[in-house]
Amino acid sequence: MTLPLIFLLTSLFLSSIEGRFYAFTRQENLHTVSKIWLPPSAAPAFAPLPASPYISSVPSPAPAPAPAPSFTRKIFNVVSFGAVGNGESDDTQAFKMAWDAACSQTAFSVLLAPAGYSFLIFPTIFAGPCKGGLVFQIDGTIIPPDGPESWPKNASKRNWLIFYKINEMLMQGGGVIDGKGEKWWKLPCKPHNKGSNAHPGPCDSPVAIRFFMSSNLTVQGLKMKNSPQFHFRFDNCQNIHVEMLNIKAPALSPNTDGIHIENTNNVHIYNSVVSNGDDCISIGAGCHNVDIKNITCGPSHGISIGSLGIRNSRACVSNITVTDSVIKHSDNGVRIKTWQGGYGSVSKVTFNNIHMDTVRNPIIIDQYYCQTKNCTNQTSAVYISDILYSNIKGTYDVRSPAFHLACSDSVPCSDLILSDIELLPAKGEFMANPFCWNAFGAVQTLTIPPVSCLQEGIPQFLTQDIIDQC
């Protein structure tokens, strides 16, 4: 046998061994990390990431037909970490392991809850900070334990899934987050239940998804239903982008706010549909620079700032815009609600281009908010000023007036501006008597119904120390 032939056969033999070894090691590693190459078009396992103002480090799909290995994105599939996904087995540990693995990556990584599975997750905390950006991709269904009796005895009943100290995360997917809140709503301590004599409130029901002390977050494209309490909650967060959510719960489900923000700044909430038993969107104390646009809300309690000032607390809220939205078949439209005894201010708020469809209180300021019948009258109050209501049209439920501007006895509202408002009765007789109390401002155009109760000018007894509380 000639020397060149021997060399050729030896090379082929070694190549075959190397190929089998590569295939073997690749199969062995699938239980920890799956790798996919970024394709020229959308891959079924993970759609291309949409543009986001806060997640700038996401690589775009390369146009080349065969991208180089340096453009890999690691996918951490919870099934590869032991998740069963039958809706009965506890998949919490598999999600935690997948999270820890994804969170430890310096490159952008993906935690995948794949389609075709129903994952049971017990209350848990997904903690950061992570080393790189992360995508939490929900394509299957995620559920909690079914009701209070199934909740772990040693776990808080106030939260289900907490995301803590996360920076740069995208939560998205075509799946469903089902809060299974029906048994929680039936607790006898819930204020809507007949015969209840308990103090109204959350009654230790869990918030479904809570982000705490996190920044640069995008949540989009998800469906969520039937949370025991709030569906999404953001506390002490910065730079939040929420878009294309579909949130649904029954009209009589208590405390099921769609999206609640507290001490959270620079927020965009766009292009979403919410119907539930409480506020579609609620804005708590310490929120600034919030833009809400193109929301379809209702049946619900409307879009609210507050409640603020509970238990004599300080509340500062400013630079809030709600535009281009529809509120239908709801107890309230756009609302500002504060407790007596609080202090602080709500200022620079715009409600513009909003359509009302059979809404009981389309425009409401309530500075006497109280969940019981025996709230004590107090002199201190959150100061409300610089509020613009413009281009608000549609129909209202005549059981309540179209305008309800109930400001504090001791701290009047100032600079309330009404412009281009036309609200007609959904049925029945026209109700031409809006309610105003200690409310100051201006009617820039004729309104329907006419608002003659709004006092012109600036209140004389408004002191500088009240104005400067924030």
Please state the domain extents for the chain: 72-188+204-269, 279-469
CA distance 152 to 17: 52
Residue with more model confidence, 413 or 34: 413
State the DSSP H helix or E strand holding residue 390, giving kind and residue range, or none if neither: strand 383-396
Q: Say which CATH class 72-188+204-269 falls into.
A: mainly beta
**Strand, helix or coil for residue 294:** strand
Query: Phi-psi region for residue 282, left (φ > 0), alpha (ψ -120 to 50) or beta?
Result: beta
pLDDT digits (tens, 9 = 90+) for 369-405: 998 878 888 999 999 999 999 999 999 999 999 999 9
pLDDT digits (tens, 9 = 90+) for 140-152: 999 999 999 999 9
In the structure encoding, which two tokens stand for residue 25, read together? Answer: 């090691």
Look at residues 327, 268, 337, 333 and name the one whose alpha carbon lies nearest to residue 305.
337
Active site residues: 301
Amino acid of residue 80: S
pLDDT score, position 38:
28
What residue ranges in 244-331 does DSSP mark as E strands? 246-248, 259-262, 265-275, 281-283, 288-297, 303-308, 314-328
pLDDT score, position 430:
74
What is the average per-residue pLDDT within 205-215? Answer: 98
pLDDT score, position 23:
31
Mean pLDDT lowest among 48-52, 242-246, 250-254, 314-318: 48-52
From residue 149, alpha-carbon distances to 145, 187, 208, 441, 456 in Å are 9, 11, 17, 52, 57
Which DSSP symbol is given to 430? -
Q: Is the pLDDT of residue 360 over 50?
A: yes
DSSP H helices in 182-329: 182-185
Per-residue pLDDT band for 193 (boundaries 50, 70, 90) equals low
Mean pLDDT lowest among 5-14, 25-34, 297-306, 391-400: 25-34
Among residues of the chain, what percentage have pLDDT more than 90?
A: 74
Which DSSP symbol is given to 13? H
pLDDT score, position 80:
98
CA distance 76 to 113: 9
Q: Give the β-pairing of 435-437 and 303-308.
A: unpaired
72-188+204-269 with 279-469: one CATH topology? yes
CA distance 98 to 100: 6
pLDDT score, position 201:
47
* Residue linked to tokens 């890999």: 72
pTM above 0.75, yes or no: yes
Q: Does domain 279-469 have CATH number 2.160.20.10?
A: yes
Mean pLDDT of the chain: 86
Q: Is the pLDDT of residue 55 over 90?
A: no
Exposed/middle/buried for residue 368 (C-beta within 10 Å: 0-12, 13-18, 19+): middle
Whether residue 314 contacts residue 283, with contact meaning beta carbons closer than 8 Å, is answered with no
pLDDT score, position 70:
42
State the DSSP H helix or E strand holding residue 96, giving kind and residue range, or none if neither: helix 92-103
> Which residues are 18's β-sheet partners?
none
Range ranked top by mean pLDDT from 4-13, 168-177, 455-464: 168-177
